[in-house]
Every structure is written in structure tokens, then in C-alpha cells.
A and B are shown apart, each in its own frame.
Chain A
Amino acid sequence: MVTLRKMVLNLFGLALICTLLVLSGCKGGGQSKTLYIFNWTYYTPDSVIQKFEQEYGVKVVYDTFASNEEMFAKLKAGGANYDITFPSGDYVSIMIKEGMLEKIDKSKLKNFANIDPAVLAQCDFDPGNQYSVPYYLGAAGVAVDKTKVQSYDRSWSIFARKELANRMIMLDDMREVMGDALKYLGYSVNTTDQRQIDAARDLINNAWKPNLLKFDAEAFAKSFAAGEVWVAQGYAESIFAEVDKSKWNTVDFFIPKEGGPSYLDSMVILKGSKNKELALKFIDFIHRPEIYAEFCDYFGFPSTANIPARALKKGESWYRPEDLLNCELKKDVGADLEKYNAAWQAIRVGK
């Protein structure tokens, strides 16, 4: 009897494995009418996705990541069959170098003409936009709970205020936070000068970090919305997605006057995409003025990349395109990234 029971158990185990194999087999083949998108958390409204699905009669699978590094590591590890992803400029150039991207046939993008030439001019990570189409130009800023903090300077120096100790939070993001400190000190966010990087590290370690509750790129918006912190460095769209609409007027979001690192996220088609045509249609769809305006309105973004969408926008924006004037686009610093790694590790590890 015992052996019978064992056999049944083993059969059950075999059945489980077979099911897994069958299920994993299903994912790969068959349906070509599904577009796999790998995008940032909070970055394309559901309504836009739904409109695309309806118009083209397709299904969209939308997976998310929280940082360029995470996205890159996942794609690099292989196994993911995504069609489109949204890297920032520095990662576009890295992915081109690593041969991870398909060339984009711009003749099939009739809405490419809507993109602001000033934004295209910033695409020196991909001259001539052979591999990438700009999605959005923006920057992280600072959100302040005005009910708790009444007077403040719209500057990175807010993080040096000791009376706000443990009520402030910054992103757990090396290039962002280092970039803020570098800009505050008057340097480039892409510097490779060891002394400047050290100066930024010391500024963060000695003046800012003692007042921070923590570095957090996952839950900073939740912490801000819950009142855990009163000042948060981060992305406007994340902050306002978490803060209740009735409290929006108590939140001030600003891009500090010194500027900071800005990002230009682009849409790219991944090598090995099985739906290149559909992916191109999606990219073109995004730059339809009314769709781009809907996207911006949903997140409170200024329409930085698409010119005709500016007139169609109905809602307010959390900041204006001109607030980004002092910001500087993050670029790939290549092997010099090690200098940033070392500085950041010293900041994150130490007490």
C-alpha cells in the first residue's frame, strides 16, 4: 500500500512538472497579436493602452521596472520576449553598443514630425534617432508637504536643514542623487573628475545624509503620501499617484533652481521582437497629439516632447518645460562609472 501511495505522489509530481513545461511552452509560440511592453512603473496610462488595443484589435502585456539598471539587467539576463522598452538616454547608447536594439524605420512613423526639434537635438546618445524615439523629457524634483514645511528655498539646500531631520527622503538612485549634489556644487552631472565626485560624495555624506530618513526608490511616494516624510526627492508622477487628490493643493513640487540630472526616456524596439510592425504602430500611436496630450494630462506632465499636444492639453502640469533649463541630461560615463559606484557605496554603507 505504501508503494502505491508513493507512486501516486510521484505521478502527481510528474504531472506538476509536465504542466509547468506545457505552460512555459505556451508563452513562447502561437499568438503574434500580443505586444509585450516593458515599461517604468506609472508611465503609460491604462486608457492609452486600451485605446491602442481596441483600435488595432490586439492584446498588450505591460510589465514594469523601477530603474534603468533593473530593466537592463533583466533584458541582459535574457529569456524575456519584450517588443518595446523605454530606456533613458544613457541606456539607449549602452543598448545600441551592446547590439540589443532594432533599427527603427522612421518612414513608417508619420507622427515623428510632431516631436520637438529641441528635444531631438538632445538625442546625442543616438544621433539621427536610428534606434530610438523620444517618449518624455523630464526630471526628478522635490515634493514638499506645505502643511508641515512653510518656508523653504527652492534649492537642493533644503536637504541640509537640520530641523527637518528624519522627515526627508531621497531616491536610492546613484546617478540621481550624485547628480543633484554635483549640480548644487556647480559641476556637470556627467563629470568624471574624481575631485568633483569626491566633493559631491562629501556634501551628501556630511550635509544631507544626516537629515535623511533613508534612501528609497521603491516606497518614497508612499512614505510621502502617508506623512512619514515631509520632503521627498523623486518623480512628480509617482508622488501625485500616491497622494490623495483632495490633498494635491498641499503639495509643492519643484525642480530646484540649480537644476539636476534630467532624463530623456525613449521608446526602442528590442532585437528579436516578434512584432516589429505592431511595435512601430504603438510608437506612432503615442505621438498622435491627442494621445500624447492624454498621456501628459494623466500624469500632470508638461508636454515636453510633442509640440501639437501642448495645445490639446487640458490639465495642469506639475512643472513647466522651462523649469528644466538648468537641468542636464544624464549620459553614459562608461568605465568611469566605477568612480560613482565607489562614492555611492561609501554613502549607502556607512552609518
Chain B
Amino acid sequence: MRKQVGLLYTLPQILWLVVFFAAPLCIIVMYSFLKKGLYGGVELQFSLEAYTAMANPNIVLVTWRTLKISIIATVLTLLIALPCGYSIARSKNQAIRLFLVIVPFWTNFLVRIYAWIAIMGNEGFLNDILRALRLTTESVQFLYNQAAVILVLVYMYLPYAILPLFSTIDKFDFTLLDAARDLGATRFQSYVRVLLPNIKGGLVTAGLFTFVPIFGAYAVPLLIGGKDSYMLGNIIADQLTKTRNWPLASSISMTVTVLTTGLVFLIAMRKPREQKQVFDADPAFLQVAPDGKR
């Protein structure tokens, strides 16, 4: 009896996942193994062409570039999100600070991209200020390169990193930091060797929440990027809408999906072990602790 009720409860969720996730994914898998139609679409004929076509040096280059941009952007995001999450967790007015992190979500994604163009463009506010200060006469070109793409990606996905980091740090027992200090650790040591190992789970979640969407970024490289910023997301869109090669678009999408889910699985497999060691900060550190009691 109970079992049936449980199934009934999860039914909407299952239905949702099947219709909007599993079914489209199956279609993509199927398309990636079919022959491309001359004018788009697919022909019902098995073919591995879409996968062999990925060996094309151009696509390899773009994959490498996408990986590079994603890693740099994720690392930068984490470096900024960590102190943010920490300060929110320790703050007395958490609610207000969290609210401030969430506020940008109320503005449309594209509008925020165009706002960056208005600020950093060749004729943007920043250049106006530089010219007014007579630091430059010509416009400085901030946008339309990889660095600008990384900057805007970091900005876009920062909240996705701050929120999980905050919720993990919030659960952290801060007296442990005091204990570490009492045992002779410097402030920096107490963060690196006590705080960080204890919030590993949050760091991993934050990293995934930023890396995965950035790896599939499309609009930011399209609008903020220049000639050197063509990423995998753009190739997929172009194969689908411009060069009419749906199987190739599908096979690249599949590769991206397999790579990212593979990453998630790898990390998820390791997780149970980490959760058990919530308390043992760093055995080596405890051994060198100069208190003699250990």
C-alpha cells in the first residue's frame, strides 16, 4: 500500500524527466548515429560519420579551447566565491547578503550581457571615463576576446558557486578554527588545513555548477567573444542551423554530455568517503601540532 503511494508521489517528477530529459536525449543519441540529410534533418541509415567527423582538427581545436576557457573560468569563479560564501556565512545579516547575490537573477541573462557591452564596449562607459581622465585618447578594446568571455562567464555563474559554498560553510563549526589557532596554527593554516577539507563537498558542487554550464556556453562567446572565442556551444548551434549537419551537432552534444556526466559520476563516486571524514581535518597536521597532547 505504502509503496504505491510513493510511486504516485514521484510520478509527476518521473513524467517530467522522461518527457523533457530522457526522450530528447534519446533523440539526440539516435540522430548522432544517422546519416545527415542533404538539407538538414537525418536519413534513416546507420552511420558513424558524425563521430569520425569530430576528429577534424578544427573541432579538436575548439574542444581544447572550450576546455581551457571552462577550467580558467571555473577556477576564477571558485576563488571569488569562496571568500564571498565565507563572509556571508559569518555575517550577522545573512539574509540581506544572500538577497544581494540573488538579485541579478531577476534581470534577463541577455540583458545582462548587453549591459557588459554598454559598460566595456569601445564606446562604453569605461572608455568614456578613461578618456575623461585623459588616460587614453583612443578607445581601449576590452571586449571581443577570450579574456572578456572568461570575465563575463565568471560574472554569470558566480551566484551558482556562492550559494552551495555558503550553505556548506554555514554548517561548518567555526569553533574548529579557534581550536586550530589554539593549537598553534596561523590564521592562513587554519583556513587551508581545517576549513577547506571540511567544505570539500561544497567546493565540488560549486565547481560542477559552474563548469558544466560554462562548458556548453553559447550566448556569451557569441556576443562578448571575437574571432578567437568560437566555443563548442557555437559549433553545435552552427551545425544545426547553418551548415545543416544535424548528426554532427548531435554527436558533439553527446560528447559534451558524456564528458560532463562522466565528471559528475567520478566525483559522486568519491563523495561517500569524504562525507565520513567530516571531522578529521588533516592527520599530518594534527601530528605536527605542537601541543604534545596528541
- Is the C-beta of B216 less than 8 angstroms from some C-beta in chain A? no
Q: How far is the CA of A10 from the CA of B144 in the complex (A)?
A: 47
Contact pick for A351, options B225, B228, B240, CB 8 Å: B228
Asked if residues A214 and B144 are in contact (CB atoms below 8 Å), the reply is: yes
Asked if residues B12 and A67 are in contact (CB atoms below 8 Å), the reply is: no
Asked if residues B242 and A17 are in contact (CB atoms below 8 Å), the reply is: no
Asked if residues B227 and A67 are in contact (CB atoms below 8 Å), the reply is: no
Asked if residues B240 and A335 are in contact (CB atoms below 8 Å), the reply is: no
Asked if residues B58 and A213 are in contact (CB atoms below 8 Å), the reply is: no
Q: How far is the CA of A349 from the CA of B232 in the complex (A)?
A: 10
- Is the C-beta of A277 less than 8 angstroms from some C-beta in chain B? no
- Is the C-beta of A112 less than 8 angstroms from some C-beta in chain B? no
- Is the C-beta of A52 less than 8 angstroms from some C-beta in chain B? no
Q: How far is the CA of A229 from the CA of B8 in the complex (A)?
A: 59
Given contacts A72-B39, A213-B144, 13 further A-B pairs with CB under 8 A are A69-B241, A69-B242, A98-B39, A174-B243, A209-B227, A213-B226, A213-B227, A214-B226, A219-B223, A228-B121, A337-B244, A345-B58, A350-B61
Asked if residues A349 and B122 are in contact (CB atoms below 8 Å), the reply is: no
Asked if residues A215 and B244 are in contact (CB atoms below 8 Å), the reply is: no
Asked if residues A6 and B9 are in contact (CB atoms below 8 Å), the reply is: yes
Asked if residues A215 and B227 are in contact (CB atoms below 8 Å), the reply is: yes
Chain A interface residues toward B at CB < 8 A? 6-7, 10, 13-14, 17, 67, 69-70, 72-73, 76, 94, 97-98, 166-167, 174, 209, 212-216, 218-219, 226-229, 334-335, 337, 341, 344-346, 348-351
Closest 8 CB pairs of A and B: A227-B123, A349-B58, A13-B12, A341-B243, A214-B226, A69-B242, A228-B122, A70-B241
- Is the C-beta of B230 less than 8 angstroms from some C-beta in chain A? yes
Given A73-B40, A94-B39, A213-B144, does the pair A10, B9 have CB atoms closer than 8 Å?
A: yes
Q: How far is the CA of A97 from the CA of B37 in the complex (A)?
A: 12
Residues of A within 8 A of B197 (CB): none
Q: In this complex, what residue of B is CB-closest to A94?
A: B39
Asked if residues B40 and A76 are in contact (CB atoms below 8 Å), the reply is: yes
Given A76-B40, A76-B41, A335-B38, does the pair A351, B227 have CB atoms closer than 8 Å?
A: yes
- Is the C-beta of B71 less than 8 angstroms from some C-beta in chain A? no
